Structure 1
Amino acid sequence: MKTKFLILTAAMSFSAMSFAQKNEVKAADKALKSDNAAEAKAALEKAEPLLGSADAKTKALYYLVKGKTYSKLAKSGEEGAFKKSIAAFKDLIAYEEEVGKKKYTVEAKQAMTGMTGDIVNAAIKDNNEKKFDAGADKLYLAYNLSKKDTVYLFYAANSAVNAQNMEKALKYYNELKDINYDGSEVKYSAVNIATGEREEMAKSQRDLMVKSKQYKDPKEEKSPSRKAEIVKNIALIYTQLGEDEKALEAYKDARANNPSDVNLILNEANLQYKLGNKDKFKELMAEATRVDPNNPDLFYNIGVINMEQENIEEARAAYEKAIELNPGYVNAQLNLSTTYVNEGNGLIDAMNALGSSRADIAKYDELKAKKDGLFREGAQILEDALKQTPGNQALLSQLKNIYGALGDTENFMRLKKLLGE
Structure 2
Amino acid sequence: MKKLMTLMLLLAMSSMSFAQKNEVKAIEKAIKNANYGDAKSAVASAEALLGSMDDKLKAKFYYLKAQALYADGQGSDANIDEAIESIDNLKTLESEMGKLKYTSEANKMTTDMMNAYLTKANKAFTNKNFKVAAKGFEKVYKMSPKDTMYLYYAASSAVSEPDYDAALDYYLQLKNMGYRGERMLYTAVNVETGKEESFGDKNQRDFSVKAKLHKDPKDEKSEAKTAEIVKNIALIYVSQGENEKALGAMADARAENPDDIGLLLSEANVYLKMGNKEKFKALMEEATEKDPGNAELQYNLGVLAAEGGNADQAIKYYEKAISINPNYVDAYNNLAVVILGGEAAIVEEMNGLGTSAADNKKYDELKAQRSQLYHDAIPYLEKALELRNTNLDAAKTLMNIYSALGETAKFKEMRAKVEAIEASAAGN
Q: TM-score, with normalisation over the residues of structure 1?
A: 0.68
Distance 1:328 1:76, change over 3 A: same
**Aligned match of 2:30:** 31
Q: Which amino acid letter does the alignment assign opposite residue 28 of structure 1? A: I
Please say if residues 336 and 377 of structure 2, whose CA atoms lie closer than 8 Å, have aligned partners that are also in contact: yes
Please say if residues 24 and 46 of structure 1, whose CA atoms lie closer than 8 Å, have aligned partners that are also in contact: yes
Give the share of equivalent positions with the same residue, in percent: 35
By how many angstroms is 1:127 displaced?
A: 3.5
Q: For residues 180 and 263 of structure 1, what CA distance do their matches in structure 2 show?
A: 16
**Aligned match of 1:357:** 356
Q: For residues 281 and 45 of structure 2, what CA distance do their matches in structure 1 show?
A: 67
By how many angstroms is 1:314 displaced?
A: 0.6
**Aligned match of 2:155:** 160
Q: For residues 129 and 248 of structure 1, what CA distance do their matches in structure 2 show?
A: 36
1:146-189 C-alpha deviation (Å, 9 max, x unpaired): xxx5x3344323233234344334323323433445778999xx
Distance 1:111 1:376, change over 3 A: same
What pairs with 1:39-78 in structure 2 (closer than 5 Å)? 41-42=37-38, 44-45=40-41, 48=44, 56=52, 64-65=60-61, 67-71=63-67, 73-74=69-70, 76-77=72-73, 78=75
Aligned length: 361
**Aligned match of 1:210:** none
- Secondary structure (helix, strand or coil) at the match of 1:199 reads helix
Distance 1:295 1:57, change over 3 A: closer
Q: For residues 391 and 108 of structure 1, what CA distance do their matches in structure 2 show?
A: 64
**Aligned match of 1:83:** 81
Distance 1:20 1:247, change over 3 A: same
Q: Which runs of no fewer than 5 residues in structure 2 stay unpaired? A: 1-16, 125-131, 186-200, 205-218, 421-428
- Secondary structure (helix, strand or coil) at the match of 1:129 reads helix
1:235 equivalent among 204, 216, 231: 231
Distance 1:355 1:63, change over 3 A: same
**Aligned match of 2:203:** 199
- Secondary structure (helix, strand or coil) at the match of 1:354 reads coil
By how many angstroms is 1:53 displaced?
A: 9.1
Q: For residues 50 and 335 of structure 1, what CA distance do their matches in structure 2 show?
A: 72
Is it true that 1:307 corresponds to 2:302 in the alignment? no
**Aligned match of 1:124:** 118
Q: TM-score, with normalisation over the residues of structure 2?
A: 0.67
**Aligned match of 1:317:** 316
1:327-374 C-alpha deviation (Å, 9 max, x unpaired): 333222122112221102211112212222332222222222222222
Please say if residues 63 and 89 of structure 1, whose CA atoms lie closer than 8 Å, have aligned partners that are also in contact: no
By how many angstroms is 1:301 displaced?
A: 1.6
Distance 1:109 1:414, change over 3 A: closer
**Aligned match of 1:170:** 168
Please say if residues 184 and 224 of structure 1, whose CA atoms lie closer than 8 Å, have aligned partners that are also in contact: yes
Q: For residues 186 and 311 of structure 1, what CA distance do their matches in structure 2 show?
A: 45
By how many angstroms is 1:42 displaced?
A: 0.7
- Secondary structure (helix, strand or coil) at the match of 1:328 reads coil
Please say if residues 181 and 226 of structure 2, whose CA atoms lie closer than 8 Å, have aligned partners that are also in contact: no
**Aligned match of 1:10:** none
Q: For residues 178 and 115 of structure 2, what CA distance do their matches in structure 1 show?
A: 26
**Aligned match of 2:279:** 280
Aligned-residue Cα RMSD (Å) equals 4.5
**Aligned match of 1:139:** 140
Please say if residues 381 and 394 of structure 2, whose CA atoms lie closer than 8 Å, have aligned partners that are also in contact: yes
Bigger Rg, which one = 1
**Aligned match of 1:4:** none
**Aligned match of 1:245:** 244
By how many angstroms is 1:51 displaced?
A: 7.3
Q: Which amino acid letter does the alignment assign opposite residue 199 of structure 1? A: N
Q: For residues 279 and 51 of structure 1, what CA distance do their matches in structure 2 show?
A: 62
What pairs with 1:183-194 in structure 2 (closer than 5 Å)? none
Q: For residues 383 and 81 of structure 2, what CA distance do their matches in structure 1 show?
A: 65
Please say if residues 266 and 285 of structure 1, whose CA atoms lie closer than 8 Å, have aligned partners that are also in contact: yes
Please say if residues 182 and 222 of structure 2, whose CA atoms lie closer than 8 Å, have aligned partners that are also in contact: yes
Q: Which amino acid letter does the alignment assign opposite residue 203 of structure 2? A: E
Q: For residues 331 and 186 of structure 1, what CA distance do their matches in structure 2 show?
A: 33
- Secondary structure (helix, strand or coil) at the match of 2:156 reads helix
**Aligned match of 1:296:** 295
